[in-house]
A and B are shown apart, each in its own frame.
Chain A
């Protein structure tokens, strides 16, 4: 097992190196450059040239890359051009928001997606099925930012829900872990916890739409497959009651592919979070990334994109490791 883990870790290094080269080269190929972004609108071409020299941005690109790499391996990704804060501490500050939002969205998607998918399969061809299918199609098709704006305009005021931010402005809540709801609970600041929950509702639903729709469709398809299996016929012919057949046989077997999809959708949530966080001004990593792109914040973009890549590599590794645990043949291959 240890050898397997070490091998996977060693394989991750070239992957990250290649990604870092691609990210670095892509950012450097954009016109404008950090000097323009740092100096703002009143920058003259002379001042930009001067600053490029000071920052070493007129060095050959591979020299710049190796300098960047040298700092990056020590965890120094520089300071954000937008906020002047070290980007690593920015990531630490903004990560809890993304995790909180992503977890909520996934909970919504799973808690609603599985029952609806099951209902859809059970009443196949009927009106309930049709309505659920159409809604899930809409869910997949509507762009998150459009849905976000619609929710803000149509739902926020009537439901009395906040349409932006993670907390009411000026609210003096204690921050312990950065997870606003959790912090409210552990410090027993119930108003703050409730405030954080209300701020989560709209963005979490917006972010949940696509995974929700996908889970509904996969659950439906999977349950339909199971219903046609021989063992269901056997169970029915043994005289088991319908609730027992559904719970023990249909659901249990039907959910296996759904679990895989939930894993895949969790990774995809990060992408959706960029738009959702932006629209709802929900200050997480997606928000940081969107702001970084707009303001040409190179240090922040370099760090965030590499961080995203690292998360994907690690998640993939975890998946592989879990396969390895389940199936010993994977380890020796």
Chain B
């Protein structure tokens, strides 16, 4: 099977990567201790048959699958697990540490931090109690666990191969980084496919079926990822049969693709589009009534129906439904134009002007067409008597800097795609601390989020986030707009691909007739 990728992978050492194009390939070659049930964000055994967190959340015990081998023939066991986590924690060199985006996010710090942005490490040590029991000790409880163990960055790799090909030797090379041979030519995991080759000139990554005691058995003998950055070219290639699938078709093409006999698989939503509000830039927005007026004034149901692809839903809160912690009982703001006007009047903010920032030159799964979304929402604002000053900037050409770093906007469009099933990955990222993007300081909310993050995994964790979600929707620091489902398209002969909300599609189940 040949799958069309929109971009180049960076390298194949998952530790130093954070992008979807790379992760898609890594997921076929490597396994994590815990995995996601196909088609959901729920957890299921990966390399660990069972896992258990202590009450204080500081100890995680993994009972490992037996008889699994890495693609280089070396055995997978508790030693290998600890080798991997110790490797991450002890990583040296500013070049290497600065590339470990997900490790930095989840584990917060290293044995010796080499960058300013690192903090106190969450990881303490790892013990291989016996061949098939690994115990991970942490310095503090962290709500991201156990879901964060599903992240491809924490895939378990062959210690022998890591050592043999000098995997940790990431060095600075001018404005960028140079990676060791391991990362580009010898990634070694336990997954159903193993790495064959990466032809840069052709833009092809070839994997083949792994036969030595893989965790799952692949049905395909060969799996090729072909990099085709242009979307029209991807469509043409699919039509011509050069490729058998590609990711993120444009919603406008769903109908055409289906007419051509292709299968457009809609993923469950795992993202959020929101209208950001910057209270610092415009003091009128400090007034809750003004923020509520915005929430009541936006006809989000209509917007979702008319502007977003099939399967999109109006958002009631800042986490999608698939996340533990989603709360049906949050305060909702149904479309009510009169009420919005009334609230603005009460706040003395009638006729106010808002600098509305929106990005150009970008599409995101949660934001297929930013200009369209801007038009729709700004019309609603005008209808309740708000003047809108439109400011459009290229996504990578100043938009993110202006909005997230400089906080120049009054309101703006932004969103997030989740990494794993944890509400903190959404709301904690947005509202966990004072940020230039939102410009508010609400210690009560910050500490509620921090307490929810620290709540032990399971029911207590879920409950805490349900409570926080309610609190957020009462305070209304921004307005959740929609959950947008991205799609993946495959040809008519492809069977067995399960679309995942986390874009965690595993190709070992796939056959091509």
Contacts and interface: CB of A to CB of B under 8 A. Distances in A.
Is B one of A's binding partners?
yes
Interface of A: 30-32, 34, 36-40, 42-51, 53-55, 57, 67-68, 71, 76-86, 90, 93-94, 96-97, 149, 152-153, 156-157, 162-170, 175, 178, 278-281, 283, 290-291, 294-296, 298-299
B163 interface: no
Nearest to B362: A41
Q: Which of A94, A96, A163 has the most CB of B within 10 A?
A: A163
Contacts of A291: 8, 229
A80 B200 CA distance: 12
A79 B98 contact: no
Contacts of A283: 201-203
Q: Which of B18, B226, B233, B394 has the most CB of A within 10 A?
A: B233
A83 B9 CA distance: 7
B176 interface: yes
A50 B172 CA distance: 14
11 contacts: A31-B397, A79-B174, A84-B178, A165-B228, A165-B242, A166-B202, A169-B204, A170-B2, A278-B230, A290-B229, A298-B175
Contacts of B306: none
B396 A83 contact: no
B336 interface: no
B206 interface: yes
A83 B202 contact: no
A163 B236 contact: yes
A149 B232 contact: yes
B236 A299 contact: no
Interface in B83-118: 94-95, 98-99, 101, 104-105, 115-117
Interface stretch (B35-43, B44-52, B398-406): B398-406
Contacts of A168: 242
Q: How large is the interface on B (under 10, 10 to 19, 20 to 34, 35 or more residues)?
A: 35 or more
A42 to B, nearest CB: 6
Nearest to B114: A54
B224 interface: yes
Interface in B158-197: 172-179, 183-184
Q: Which of B179, B183, B228, B242 has the most CB of A within 10 A?
A: B242
A202 B105 CA distance: 47
Contact of B204 (A83, A170, A280, A298): A170
Contact of B397 (A32, A76, A93, A156): A32
Contacts of A152: 232-233, 236
Nearest to B179: A84
A192 to B, nearest CB: 12
Contacts of A38: 99, 176-177
A50 B396 contact: no
B143 to A, nearest CB: 18
B436 A45 contact: yes
A153 B95 CA distance: 45
B469 to A, nearest CB: 22
B175 A57 contact: yes
Contacts of A47: 98, 101, 104, 117
Instruction: Across the A-B interface, give the 9 residue pairs with the lowest CB-CB distance, nearest first.
Output: A78-B174, A31-B398, A50-B117, A169-B2, A163-B236, A93-B201, A164-B233, A45-B405, A169-B226
Given A40-B101, A84-B11, A281-B233, A163 B240 contact: yes
A39 B400 CA distance: 13
Given A44-B117, A94-B201, A283-B201, A162 B176 contact: no
B357 to A, nearest CB: 14
A213 to B, nearest CB: 24
Q: Which of A53, A57, A283 has the most CB of B within 10 A?
A: A283
A85 B12 CA distance: 12
A43 B398 CA distance: 14
B69 interface: no
B424 to A, nearest CB: 14
Contacts of B222: 170
Contacts of A44: 117, 404
Contact of B230 (A78, A85, A279): A279
A164 B436 contact: no
A281 B174 contact: no
Contacts of B183: 84
Given A45-B405, A84-B11, A279-B230, A51 B98 contact: yes
B176 A80 contact: yes
Contacts of B459: none
Contacts of B201: 93-94, 96-97, 175, 178, 283
Contacts of B202: 165-167, 283
B373 interface: no
Nearest to A279: B230
B355 interface: no
Contact of B242 (A36, A94, A162): A162
B10 A162 contact: no
B243 interface: yes
B24 interface: no
Q: Which of B2, B201, B396, B436 has the most CB of A within 10 A?
A: B201
Nearest to A175: B201
Nearest to A47: B117
A21 B19 CA distance: 32
B321 interface: no
